[in-house]
Amino acid sequence: MGSSPLDAWIVNDDEITSLLAAEWDRQTTTVQLIASENFASPSVLAAAGSILTNKYAEGYPGRRYYGGNYVVDEIEDLARRRLTAIFGADHANVQPHSGANANVAVYEALLDPGDTILAMRLDQGGHLTHGSPASITSKYWKFVSYGVTPRSDDPAAPGEQIDFDNVRELALAHRPKLIVAGATAYARRIDPAPFREIADEVGAMLMFDSAHVAGLIAGGAHPNPVPYADVVTFTTHKTLRGPRGGAIICREEHAKKIDSAVFPGQQGGPLEHVIAAKAVAFKEASQPSFSVYTEQIVANAKAFARALANEGFRLVSGGTENHMVLLDLRDFDAELTGKVAQEVLDRAGITTNRNTIPDDPRSPFVTSGLRVGTSAETTAGMKENEFEAIASLMSRALRKRDDEDALVEVRNDIAALCANFNPYANFTK
Ligand SMILES: *Cc1c(COP(=O)(O)O)cnc(C)c1O
C-alpha cells in the first residue's frame, strides 16, 4: 500500500516488528471511527521516536535538576512558544503525560483537598476526571455535576444540550471554587461565554477541558476558550493530531502554581521526545492547511450524522457541530446494545466505541449508545461521500449481525474503501 512509514519501524525484535506490521494492516484495512483517535504525521512519529528519549530533564527550561539540558531547553521553549501563539495564551506547560494528568494537576494547583468543583457528569458526556466515583479526583475534591437538557424530538428545539439553567442553579447552591467546561461525549459546540458569566456570578475559577476539540479550536472551527477561562487543558493526540500527551495553558497569575503542580507535584522527568513531537504538531496546527482539515472534519461529521439518521439511528442532541456523532441505538433496534454493536462492527472492519447516552438505562459496560468520529479518516482524505458509504455499511452490518457471510462482505467493502485512503499519502515530509 502506497507510502508507509513502516520501514522506519523495523526493530531488531522479530516479535515486535511483526506486531507493528499487523497493527499497520489493522489501521489501514479497517476504518478508524474512534472520536479520540487520529493519524499523527510522519514528522510527529519521527520526533516521538527520537534520541531525546535518552535525556533526563526534571524541572523547566533554565531551571533543571540535571546537567546537559541546553538543547532540550530550546526544544521545550519552542513547544511552549508555539502553543501560546496558537491560542493567544499567557503561559503553557507542555509536560503533562496525558489529558488526565493535566486535569489533576490543575485541581492540585488551584484548589485545596475537599474544595468543590462543578463539572459535567460522566453519563451526560463528561470525562472520568470530572469527578466520576471511579476516578481518584472524586476522592480528593467534592464534585457537583451538571447535565444536559431532556431529550426532544423537535428538530427546531433539539434537547440534550448543556443545561445552563442547571449549571447556574448548582453554582449558586454549592458555590464551587472551580467550574469545569468541556466533555468527552458531546457533539455540540461548547460556548465558553455563559460558563464565564456563571463563574463570575459565584466567584469561581473556570477551567475549560478542550481535550477533544483542541484541534478544532486551533483550526478556527470552534470558539477559543482562552479569553474566558483561567486555565485550558487538552490532549495533544485527538483532533490536534500530535503525539499522545497533555498540555495546559493558563493566565500568568496561575503559571507558577500550575508548573509546580505538574512537576514536582505529580510527575518526574518530562518526556522530551514527546515534547519535541508536540512542538512539531503545534507547528502543523498553525498552518493554513490545518484549518482546511478541521473544516472538513466538521463537514464530514455533519454528512455522516445525516446519513446515519437516514439509516434509522437516533442522533443524541439531534445532530453534530464538531467531529463526533453520538448515536442512540434503541430506535434502530431496541435489542441492540452498545457493547454488541461495537463487537459486531469490529468484525466488519469498522472500529468504534460504545458509549453511555444521557439517562442511559443500561450499565456503562453495556450502554445504549455508540460514539463515532471523523478526525482520523479525514486525515486519510475521506470526504462526505465516503462517510455516507460507511453509514450504510454500518447499518448493513448491524442489521445482519447474525449472518457471518454478510459481515465478511461488509469487511471486504470496507477494505476496498480503505485501499484508496492511505493515511500517510497526504503528508509532505
Ligand atoms: C480524552 C479526555 C481526557 C483524558 O485524556 P487522556 O490523555 O486519555 O488521559 C480528559 N478530558 C476529556 C474531556 C477527554 O475527552
Closest listed residue to residue 123, CA positions, set 340, 326, 344, 309: 326
Same domain, 261 and 296: no
Q: What is the pLDDT of residues 396-414, one digit of tens each?
A: 999 999 999 999 999 999 9
Catalytic residue among 17, 29, 56, 168: 56
Question: Is the shortest distance between the CB of 246 and ligand 1 below 6 Å?
Answer: yes
Kindly give the distance from the C-alpha atom of residue 333 to the centroid of ligand 1, in angstroms, as a whole number.
30
Question: Is residue 60 assigned to a domain?
Answer: yes
Same domain, 106 and 241: yes
Same domain, 194 and 65: yes
Rounded CA-CA distance 125/142 in Å is: 19
Domain boundary pick from 262, 285, 308: 285
Rounded CA-CA distance 262/97 in Å is: 9
Under the banding of pLDDT at 50, 70 and 90, the label for residue 1 is very low
Question: Is residue 34 assigned to a domain?
Answer: no
Rounded CA-CA distance 123/293 in Å is: 30
Question: Is the shortest distance between the CB of 184 and ligand 1 below 6 Å?
Answer: yes
Give residue 117's identity as a one-letter amino acid code: I
CATH code for position 214:
3.40.640.10
Query: How many domains is the chain built from?
Result: 2
Question: Is the shortest distance between the CB of 76 and ligand 1 below 6 Å?
Answer: no
Rounded CA-CA distance 117/174 in Å is: 9
Question: Is residue 370 assigned to a domain?
Answer: yes
Kindly give the distance from the C-alpha atom of residue 327 to the centroid of ligand 1, in angstroms, as a whole number.
20
Q: What is the pLDDT of residues 341-384, one digit of tens each?
A: 999 999 999 999 999 999 999 999 999 999 999 999 999 999 99
Same domain, 281 and 299: no
Task: Please compute the mean of the pLDDT values over residues 152-178 and round it to a whole number.
Answer: 94
Which residue's CA is the closest to the ligand 1 atom numbered 15? 184
Cα torsion angle, 114, 117, 122, 124, sign: positive
Under the banding of pLDDT at 50, 70 and 90, the label for residue 258 is very high
Catalytic residue among 137, 235, 294, 379: 235
Q: What is the pLDDT of residues 180-213, one digit of tens each?
A: 999 999 999 999 999 999 999 999 999 999 999 9
* 238 is a catalytic site residue: yes
Question: Is the shortest distance between the CB of 96 and ligand 1 below 6 Å?
Answer: no
Question: Is the shortest distance between the CB of 209 and ligand 1 below 6 Å?
Answer: yes
Same domain, 336 and 274: no
Average pLDDT, the chain: 96
Q: Is the pLDDT of residue 427 over 90?
A: no
Rounded CA-CA distance 401/30 in Å is: 17
Which domain covers residue 164, as residue numbers?
48-285
Task: Please compute the mean of the pLDDT values over residues 280-286 and round it to a whole number.
Answer: 98
Q: What is the pLDDT of residues 207-244, one digit of tens each?
A: 999 999 999 999 999 999 999 999 999 999 999 999 99
Kindly give the distance from the C-alpha atom of residue 240 to the centroid of ligand 1, in angstroms, as a whole number.
13
Under the banding of pLDDT at 50, 70 and 90, the label for residue 425 is confident
Rounded CA-CA distance 275/51 in Å is: 12
Rounded CA-CA distance 37/219 in Å is: 17
* 428 is a catalytic site residue: no
Question: Is the shortest distance between the CB of 350 and ligand 1 below 6 Å?
Answer: no
Domain boundary pick from 254, 285, 316: 285
Question: Is the shortest distance between the CB of 34 and ligand 1 below 6 Å?
Answer: no
Higher-confidence residue: 155 or 280?
280
Candidate of 38, 136, 162, 184 to mutate for ligand 1, largest count of ligand atoms within 8 Å of Cβ: 184
* 146 is a catalytic site residue: no
Question: Is the shortest distance between the CB of 248 and ligand 1 below 6 Å?
Answer: no
Same domain, 281 and 318: no
CATH code for position 351:
3.90.1150.10
Question: Is residue 35 assigned to a domain?
Answer: no
Under the banding of pLDDT at 50, 70 and 90, the label for residue 297 is very high
Same domain, 190 and 300: no
Q: What is the pLDDT of residues 299-312, one digit of tens each?
A: 999 999 999 999 99
Which residue's CA is the closest to the ligand 1 atom numbered 3? 99
* 154 is a catalytic site residue: no
Give the chain's length: 429
According to the 3-state scheme, what is the secondary structure of 5-66? HHHHHCCCCHHHHHHHHHHHHHHHHCEECCCCCCCCCHHHHHHHCCHHHHCCCCEECCEECC
Question: Is residue 8 assigned to a domain?
Answer: no
Query: Which atom of ligand 1 is the closest one to the Cα of 246?
Result: 7
Same domain, 218 and 363: no
pTM: 0.96
Task: Please compute the mean of the pLDDT values over residues 314-329 and round it to a whole number.
Answer: 97
Catalytic residue among 55, 80, 196, 238: 238
Question: Is residue 336 assigned to a domain?
Answer: yes
Which residue's CA is the closest to the ligand 1 atom numbered 8? 99
Do the beta carbons of residue 301 and residue 373 sit within 8 Å? Answer: yes
Question: Is the shortest distance between the CB of 41 and ligand 1 below 6 Å?
Answer: no
Q: What percent of the chain has pLDDT over 90?
A: 94
332's grid cell: 434502530
Question: Is the shortest distance between the CB of 182 and ligand 1 below 6 Å?
Answer: yes
Same domain, 296 and 273: no
Kindly give the distance from the C-alpha atom of residue 234 to the centroid of ligand 1, in angstroms, as a whole number.
7
Question: Is residue 99 assigned to a domain?
Answer: yes
Same domain, 198 and 160: yes
Q: Is the pLDDT of residue 75 over 60?
A: yes
Same domain, 272 and 314: no
Same domain, 331 and 253: no
Question: Is the shortest distance between the CB of 100 and ligand 1 below 6 Å?
Answer: yes
Question: Is the shortest distance between the CB of 129 and ligand 1 below 6 Å?
Answer: yes
Q: What percent of the chain has pLDDT over 70?
A: 98
Kindly give the distance from the C-alpha atom of residue 211 to the centroid of ligand 1, in angstroms, as a whole number.
5
Question: Is residue 204 assigned to a domain?
Answer: yes
pLDDT for 8: 67
Query: Which atom of ligand 1 is the closest one to the Cα of 212?
Result: 15
Domain boundary pick from 239, 267, 285: 285
pLDDT for 10: 73
Q: What is the pLDDT of residues 20-33, one digit of tens each?
A: 999 999 999 999 99
Kindly give the distance from the C-alpha atom of residue 2 to the centroid of ligand 1, in angstroms, as a whole number.
33
Do the beta carbons of residue 239 and residue 280 sit within 8 Å? Answer: no
Closest listed residue to residue 226, CA positions, set 248, 244, 259: 248
